[in-house]
Amino acid sequence: MKKMPIPVVQRLTKYLVYVQDICKEDIVWVSSNEIAQALSLTSSTVRQDLSHLEISGISKRGYETAILQRVLCRELGADKTVNAVIVGAGNLGRALALHGEFGRRGFGICAIFDSNTDLIGEKIEGIEISSMEKLKEIVKKRKIDIGMIAVPASAAQSVADLLVSAGVKGLLNLTLSHVCPAGNAVVVDTRIIANLQELLYLMRAKDSIGSGVSARKT
C-alpha cells in the first residue's frame, strides 16, 4: 500500500482524468481493459496499478467508476485544496495564473511574485503581483505548500532556494534548467521544451527524417 513507483503515480493521474470523464457520462462500471484501451495501455498494467489502491473490482463487471474516482482522488491528494504561489509574472507565469484548470484541480494560486518592480500591484485573475521581498512573509503567513518557478532559467535555482527557505515543501520547475532540491523539498520538472525535443527525436526515429548520419563505425 505504501510508496508507489513514480510511473504508477503518473498513470494514476491519467486514470483519474479518464474516470472523471466517464463518471460525468453516467457510466457506472469500467473494466481494466476499457481503461487500457482509452489510454493506450495494457489491461495488465492497469490492474497492477490499481492493486496499489484500496479498491476491489468485481469479476465480469470491473470497477465502480464513482468509487474508483474517489479512491484515486484521495490517493493523489486531489480531494484537498493545496496552496501554491507562482514566481515570475512573465508570459508563462501569467498563463499559469489564468489557467482555470489549476483551480478546478484543487491548486489554489495565492500569490504571484516578480522582481520587476513595475509590475508590483498589478492584478492577474484577482491575484496581486507582489515583490520578491514579500515572498517569505506571504509564504509563511498563508501556509503555502507549493511554489511554481516561472522565471528565466538563470534565476531558477536562487528562486528555488528562496522558496524552500520560506517553507515551501514542493517545487514545480517550469524552467528548462535543472533545479537541485534544496533541503528536503521535492522538485518536479515540467520540461515543455525538453518534451518538444523528445518529440522531435521520436519523430525522426519513426521515419528517419533529417540527420542522415549513417552510423559510421569500425
Partner DNA sequence: TAGATTGTTAATCGATTAACAATC
Stretch of 2-10, 148-156, 190-198, 205-213 contacting DNA, by CB under 7 A: 2-10
Q: Centre a 10 Å sphere on the Cβ of residue 109 and count the other Cβ atoms it contains.
A: 23
Work out whether 40 is an interface residue with a second copy (CB under 8 A). Answer: yes
Answer with the entry of DNA, a second copy, none that 112 interacts with (C-beta below 5 to 8 A by kind): none
User: Collapsing DSSP states into helix, strand and coil, what is residue 75?
Assistant: helix
Q: Which of 28, 56, 116, 201 binds a second copy (CB under 8 A)?
A: 201
Work out whether 14 is an interface residue with a second copy (CB under 8 A). Answer: yes
Considering only residues 59 to 98 of the shown chain, the ones binding DNA according to CB under 7 A are 59-63
Instruction: Specify the residue, 60 or 214, whose C-beta has the smaller distance to a second copy.
Output: 214
* Shortest CB 22 distance to DNA, Å: 13
Cα 101 from Cα 105, distance rounded (Å): 6
* Shortest CB 118 distance to DNA, Å: 43
| Residue 155, Cβ density class (10 Å: 0-12 exposed, 13-18 middle, ≥19 buried) | middle
Considering only residues 3 to 62 of the shown chain, the ones binding DNA according to CB under 7 A are 5-8, 31-33, 41-45, 47-48, 50-51, 55-62
Residue pair 60/122 in contact (Cβ under 8 Å)? The answer is no
Residues whose CB is less than 8 angstroms from the CB of residue 33 and which lie 6 or more positions away in sequence, other chains included: 43, 46
Give the residue among 177, 170, 128, 174 at the shortest CA–CA distance from 147. Answer: 170
* Shortest CB 59 distance to a second copy, Å: 21
